[in-house]
Amino acid sequence: MAGFGGGGATGGRERRWRGMDRLDSRNRPPRSLLVALVLASVTLITLDFHGGTDSPVEPARRVLGEAFGPVEAGTAAVIRPFTAVPSWFRTKGTLSDEIRDLEAENSDLKSQVATAGFDKNRLEEYDGLTQSAESLGRALVPARVVAYGSSQSFSNTVTIDAGSQAGIGPDMTVINNDGLVGRVLRVTRTTATVLLIIDQESNVGGRVGSSLEVGFVQGRGSVADDELDLRLVDDAVIPAKHDTVVTWGSAEGPYQRGVPVGRVTDVYSSLIESSQRAVIEPFVNFSALDVVGVMVPTGTTSDRAVIEADGAMR
């Protein structure tokens, strides 16, 4: 077969796919190597799976992150002007449609604010919340998303272009101007990997805005939609539709308190489990993530401007 192929290697097509026609027994893929590499992969899987957060693979992740982080950031910076091109070609019609939608939404929100029944208890709770938010003394480190994990990997993670040099560490809360984005998993000097709240590994302590009931917001890891599930600790309470869910927050946990997560869109009750499951539509649009902020303790030294709790840049 190799002989025939070699003889016919004069045509244009043959040259294009050349290398193919010189097949001989030397090229038989060795089974021993396959077995060795498969065993190596399985070893790697076992090491990483049982190691958890301090697995022996973690240093290798860090080294590769240090090497690839700046390249990813650079590539994203080069690509950014081109990905903005489609937004230049929006017609007057689509823009006026958008204005109409925004006006409708604005008046809707205004009426909600005007008619909302703030009872005294709730107001006090909110006052407490804002006070604790102030006393927490958080500052924001701005960053941009430079790389996205693919759906083929069945995990929802992104890389941002700020790392330990910017004062970021693991388990810090990541937000954008719409609400909660996720938390930092690991950092390199110049980048950080963020676990989005829509990942199925993500579990956020949440609190329903109107009843102040606590529960857990879990990502679904679903490909087709970005919805979250809310399970309340108290099974007797049924969350109302359109209720806002904010983070519950704890002193040492990863998520700071009072960050808006999403809105209740549907409530299902399961008779067998005698519990309520609410579907949450997150405020953040995860398919168009760009600028995010990482909540750091105030006074953190950073390689870039830090936005303090009172809005001042430092």
Query: Any bridge partners for residue 280, and if so which?
Result: 228, 264
Within 170-189, the residues that bind other proteins by CB under 8 A are 185-186, 188
Within 17-36, the residues that bind other proteins by CB under 8 A are 17-23, 26-30, 33-34
Among 143, 172, 195, 284, binds other proteins (CB under 8 A): 195
Residue closer to other proteins (CB basis): 65 or 215: 65
- Give CA–CA dist 198/194, Å, rounded: 11
Beta carbon of residue 204, minimum distance to other proteins (angstroms, whole number): 17
Residue closer to other proteins (CB basis): 136 or 185: 185
151, 144, 174: which is closest to 256 by C-alpha?
Answer: 174
Counting residues that bind other proteins (by CB under 8 A) gives 72
Among 10, 115, 152, 301, binds other proteins (CB under 8 A): 152
Among 91, 121, 177, 287, binds other proteins (CB under 8 A): 287
8 Å CB contact between 235 and 256: no
Structure tokens at 227: 């919805």
Within 84-143, the residues that bind other proteins by CB under 8 A are none
Phi then psi for 189, rounded to 5 degrees? -60, -40
Among 3, 7, 71, 235, binds other proteins (CB under 8 A): 71
Distances (CA, A) of 214 to 145, 187, 208, 229, 235: 31, 30, 7, 13, 11
Beta carbon of residue 224, minimum distance to other proteins (angstroms, whole number): 6
61, 254, 244: which is closest to 159 by C-alpha?
Answer: 61
